[in-house]
Structure 1
Amino acid sequence: MDARSLLVLMCIVQTASGALWGEVVHGKVVKFCKHKGIRLLPTSTFIDYHDCSRCECSDDGLSCQSVGLTVKAVGETKCSNVTIACKDTWVLKADTTKKCPTHLMPKAMTAVGK
């Protein structure tokens, strides 16, 4: 596998992890994970729609995996891709309130993990 293929693979299967924290509350150690300043108890799971990642707090700490892709058209097209809640929608460039008709969809696209 060459370096470029490995880089593409790493982007598509992007993961992140964080430590498990502990704090004494009323004489008892409470373990938790931190994500963007929010404390989560072990066994918590959530989707971060801003980063398009699914995260889980376990006894091993926080683990997040990418659930979205950045999709772009290759070449000229009358449509552009917009991402809403980690889902891609193709819209007309001239009027972004209208979906892109099938016959105007790009013939070639690229996709990279977010």
Structure 2
Amino acid sequence: MFLKALPLLLGMVMSTQGYGYLELPTEKINQFGTKLVYCEYQGVNMLPDSMWRTADCEQCECSSSGLFCEGFGYNAGVFGAPDGCDVVKDGCDIRLVVSTDHTKDCKPFQEGPPPGFFGSLHGPFGHPPGPPPPPQPYGAPSDEFGPPLEHFEPPL
């Protein structure tokens, strides 16, 4: 099964910080000639349209296309922490803790993030500084969108 999923897994690892994988479904014919389709997950056969989450912070879905699993919560990807804080796993959630004492929550922004933290185009809370600009009136189609259609030549 792993070799079937390897090309997709490699493509996903290069394009994301989290992880996900796809395995093709298993197909068997039973003693009555009925075609059975299922996904195998850790030794358990799951029927298509099944969805589940594990204590390992993985969510999976079995469909007629196969088994797709990806990390969620702590296993969703790489998380960065502000200076003086570490990211730790709390169940499947992430928690910011003080780097020197993992028993204490880290609250790096007591008054909100510093100005410019989210980029130079936004104020401290993600909105552009100052009042919003007034709405612009719509011009005639030839002013706003170029010349009228009758000025265009048909393609040859």
TM-score normalised over the length of structure 2: 0.47
> What letter corresponds to residue 72 of structure 1 in structure 2?
G
Give the equivalent residue in structure 1 for 2:92.
Answer: 86
- Aligned with 2:16 (options 11, 22, 36): 11
Unmatched segments (≥5 aa) in structure 1: 1-6, 109-114
| 1:57 alignment partner in structure 2 | 62
Superposition deviation, residue 22 in structure 1: 3.3
Map of 1:1-114 to 2, 5 A cutoff? Answer: 10-12=15-17, 14-23=19-28, 27=32, 29-50=35-56, 52-67=57-72, 68-73=76-81, 77-103=83-109
Deviations 1:7-28 (A, max 9, x none): 9981147432111113466645
- Greater C-alpha Rg: 2
Question: What SS class does the counterpart of residue 73 from structure 1 fall into?
Answer: coil
* Greater fraction strand: 1
Ranges in structure 2 where 5+ consecutive residues have no aligned partner? 1-11, 118-156
Is the 8 Å Cα contact of residues 12 and 66 (structure 1) preserved in structure 2? no
More helix by share: 2
Displacement of 1:63: 1.7
Hey, which bits of structure 1, 4+ residues long, moved more than 6 A? none
- Please tell me the residue identity of whatever aligns with 2:22: S
Q: CA RMSD in A?
A: 3.3
Percentage of matched positions with identical amino acids: 24
The count of aligned residue pairs is 97
CA distance in 1 between partners of 2:60 and 2:30 (Å): 25
Separation of aligned partners in 2, 1:8 and 1:14: 6
